[in-house]
Amino acid sequence: MATTLYRVIKHGFQNFWRQRLLSVATLLVILLALLVFEGLMIFNTVSNKAFDTIQDKIDVSVYFKTTAPEDDILRIKQSLEGLSEVKSVDYISRDKALDTFKAAHANDQTISQAIQQLGENPLEASLNVKAKNPSQYSVIASYLQNDSLKDLVDKVSYQQNQVVIERLAKIVNIGRQGGLALTAIFAFLAILVAFNTILLAIYSNREEVEVMRLVGASDMFIRGPYIVEGVIYGVISAVLSLAITAPLVYFVSPYLRVFIPGMDLISYFTSNIFKILGYQLLFGTIIGVVSSLIAIRRYLKT
C-alpha cells in the first residue's frame, strides 16, 4: 500500500514537471480565482466593519415639545430601553442641548447674540435611540409615532437615516454578489484550463496509460497521479495567493484606517492567516482535483 501510494505521488510530480509551460498557465488561472476569492473574504470583513461603524453613528432622534415635562420624557426613555429592538437610549436635556449648541457656535457672534436676546432656551429635549439591527428602526419609529405620545413628541428623525442605512446595505450586498459571481467565473475558467492541461498530459502519456491498463492496473491507480497533480496546482496557487495578498494588505491598511476608524486590516489578516490559508488550500485543491477527475474520467471512458 505504501509503495503504491509512493508511486502515485511520484508520477503525479513527474506529470506536473513534464508539462511545465501548461502547468504554469494552469497555476496562473487558478491563482487568479483564488485571489478573487481571497479578495472577497477581505471585502466582506471591510464592508461589515464599515457598515457597523456607520450604523453606530446613525440613530433615531425623537424631539419633544418644549412644554413636555422631563419626568414624562424619562418615562418614555425607560419604556424604550425595555424594547428588545433597542440597543441604547441617550437623553439630551434642553440645557445640555443649549450648552452643546453654544460650544459649537462659540466663534459665531451673531448666533451668540441671538440666543442672548431670546432670553430663554429655544431648543428641545431629545432621545437618541440606537437599534440592534438597522431593519428594526421602523419598529422604533412606529412606537414613537404612537397617538398616545403626540402631545409630547414634536418630531422623529427616521426617514433620512433609514435611507442612508438602506443604501449602504444595498451597496454592500451588490459588492458581495459581484464578488461571488466573479469568483464563480474564475473558478470555472480555472477548472476548464486545468482540465485541458491534464487532458493534454494524459494524451502525451497515452502509451504509458494503455500499458498500465493492459497489465491490469486499476482505474484508481491510473487516476491517482493526475489527482496528485491537481492537488499540486491547488497547494501552490494557495501559497502564492497568500504571498501576493500579504504585502498588499500591509500597504492598504493605513489608508483604509483613515476612512474606517478602528479597521485594523493587518491585525485581522495576521490573526486569521491560517484560516485564510486553509480556505485557499481547500478552494484551490477542489478546483485542481475536480478538473483532474473530469479529465481522467473522460479519457478512461474513451
Position 202 scores a pLDDT of 66
Position 301 scores a pLDDT of 62
Position 116 scores a pLDDT of 74
Position 213 scores a pLDDT of 66
Give the Cα separation of 20 and 193 in Å (integer). Answer: 14
Amino acid at position 216, single letter: G
Closest CA to 249 of 272, 216, 232: 272
pLDDT, tens digit only, all 302 positions of the chain: 666 667 767 766 777 777 777 778 778 877 887 887 788 788 777 777 777 777 677 778 889 988 888 899 899 999 998 888 888 899 998 888 888 887 877 777 777 677 777 777 788 899 988 888 777 888 888 888 888 888 888 888 876 666 776 776 677 667 667 767 877 787 777 677 767 766 666 666 666 666 666 666 666 666 777 778 778 888 888 899 889 988 988 888 888 887 777 778 888 888 888 888 888 888 888 877 777 777 677 666 65
> Please, what CATH class does the domain formed by 66-151 belong to?
alpha beta
Closest CA to 288 of 8, 6, 23, 10: 23
Domain ranges of the chain: 2-54+166-301, 66-151
Closest CA to 39 of 149, 180, 138, 169: 180
Q: Give every CB contact of residue 98 below 8 A, 6+ residues apart in sequence.
A: 115, 121, 123
Closest CA to 64 of 127, 137, 138, 6: 127
H helix or E strand, kind and range, residue 227: helix 219-259
Position 212 scores a pLDDT of 66
pTM of the predicted structure, to 2 decimals: 0.64
| Cell numbers found for residue 38 | 481571497
Q: Residue written as cell 459649537?
A: 104
Position 298 scores a pLDDT of 65
